[in-house]
Amino acid sequence: MNLLENITLGGRTLKNRMAMAPMTRSRANLNGVVGDLTSMYYAQRASAGLIITEGINISRQALGSPFTPGLFTEEQIEAWKKVTQIVHENGGVIYAQLWHTGRVGHSVDRNNELPVAPSAIAIMGQQHFTSQGMKDYEVPRALSSEEIKQIIKDYGQAAQNAMEAGFDGVELHAAFGYLPNQFLAESANQRTDEYGGSIENRNRFVLEVMEELVKAAGANVGIRLSPTNLLNNIVNDDPVAQFTPLIKALNRLPLAYIHLMNAMTPLDSVPHYPKNVMETFGSLTDHLVIANAGYDMETGEAELEKGIAKMIAYGALFIANPDLPKRFELKASLNQPDKATMFGGGEQGYTDYPFL
């Protein structure tokens, strides 16, 4: 089975081609510090070829949802050291996903400060999970160019902090409608300075962040992109025109991988969007491709056989099956994820899923 073969990534030999996808679990405390349960959660899943953590806030400004972890205080860094140590003791490889939520947040969890974004455009037709329940999105505050340059530095500092905490590498979360993705989309970015307007300018933020990450972590850097994502009001006039020069520009950097997400919602409203993300965008990169979203054992194996993707990232299946590679190997039955315990809470639905 291709999924269970070794592969080299970022100079490391991985035990299989299965990645644990990044998934928000909201188990940190209000100071963004993870605890022993998080150490156990990731250690249980160390049989994955690669673990990519849940999104980790790079700064206080980056925070979007309560109980999500950070990587910008000494206490947070020390807590992550315990996670990386136990994952390594169990033979795992773990990358930190670096997260700035941009406008996907609410002031009630940000000391009454509005979320920030490329432009002052609110997310409509959705609500946000907050510590006070579901709330409508607010109009975010548009970032100044000086603030944008500081955020780029914040990403670099977070990458340095991640390496200090013992992570094997970092991934930029540039997907799913969070801040980097907001810069890429006309629906969220209507700036007229160097970070908006043309396709080249809308790509600039992501490329400058990636350059900063490579300075901090060398070739142990990946990026997650969702070229056909519609969540959080992200709409591109022409995704192929937007992402083609971005991915080709990323070829100039010494990256570990590009992590591409399939569409997770119907694309009926955008008939001009390409239907096959891997063929359209994965074929453009010189880097190793990790394919994500919607795969099971059979479809993951079929995707690898096509030759563009070299690894498959599994999300909910890894939540419910800490020993997922072994279950695939034995073609064993799978536990089903409990959606009610996905976000927040304690060990239930987090560390209590049974092994074979």
Residue 275 CA to residue 223 CA, distance in Å, equals: 21
Q: Tokens 């919607």 — which residue?
A: 294
CA-to-CA distance for 237 and 218, rounded, in angstroms? Answer: 34
**Which residues touch 327 (CB under 8 Å, ≥6 apart)?**
321, 333, 334, 356
Instruction: For 161-222, give the DSSP string.
Output: HHHHTT-SEEEEE--TTSHHHHHH-TTT----STTSSSHHHHHHHHHHHHHHHHHHHTT-EE
Of the candidates 227, 140, 120, 238, which has an alpha carbon nearest to the alpha carbon of residue 181? 227
Active-site annotation holder among 42, 95, 178, 350: 178
178 labelled catalytic: yes
Residue 115 and residue 330: Cα distance in Å, rounded?
47
| Active-site amino acid positions | 178
